[in-house]
Structure 1
């Protein structure tokens, strides 16, 4: 017996209201200038840097978190740049283009 059945037994006259389920929206600000996705090596290890976002920092942090969780890699957000550990330029560029961003590949 699940929770809905138990509630119906306790309150037989109650009719639950149907609330419309809202889909989570990505309210990221899309800009005219392309984001720059570049590759560097720091201390011998490859990193991918995304910069050039002119919107709010909170939106850019959300984007950084989404990229890191989707790829399953580490990274950080510093000085208005997203730094991802490893060379994931093709995946990141595809992900950003699917969201509606223009992306420019720089380096290598």
Structure 2
């Protein structure tokens, strides 16, 4: 029995209010007009995917890098306004960013 069920038993006549904030909730990350550039490179013979060109706050871009790494289950880093993802995941990253509302531009290869 979860908390909502317990509250319903205690207060059977109460109807929860739905606020407009939850219905019109904005994304946590600032969406920009310019496309994010998605590049493929080889560093020391290993493939990497680079994302750059984000105009928002670095903290938001760092949150986005964490989400992408968790989605793919791979390592990576965030340095100097760039996201570096280990491996060639351009297609999956571009699909994810488009679902989140970003414009993405594929560069190289």
Shorter-chain TM-score bucket reads 0.7 to 0.9
**Corresponding residue SS for 1:50:** strand
Hey, what does 1:96 align to over in structure 2? 97
Superposed structure 1 runs of 4+ greater than 6 Å apart: 2-5
Q: Once the 2 structures are TM-superposed, how far is the Cα of residue 71 of structure 1 from its aligned partner?
A: 0.3
- For 2:15 and 2:77, how far apart are their aligned partners in 1? 43
Q: TM-score, normalised on structure 2?
A: 0.78
Deviation at 1:36, TM superposition (A): 0.2
Aligned to 2:32: 31
Name the CA distance, whole Å, in 1 between partners of 2:37 and 2:43: 18
Residue 19 to residue 83, structure 1, CA distance change in 2 (3 Å): farther
- What SS does structure 2 have at the residue aligned with 1:96? helix
Matches within 5 A, 1:5-20: none
Structure 2: 5+ residue runs without aligned partners?
none
Question: How many pairs align?
Answer: 104
Query: 1: distance between equivalents of 2:33 and 2:66?
Result: 22
Q: What is the rounded CA distance, in whole Å, between the counterparts of 2:63 and 2:37 in structure 1?
A: 17
* C-alpha deviation, 1:85, in angstroms: 0.1
**Counterpart for residue 62 of structure 1:** 63
In the alignment, what sits opposite 2:45? Answer: 44
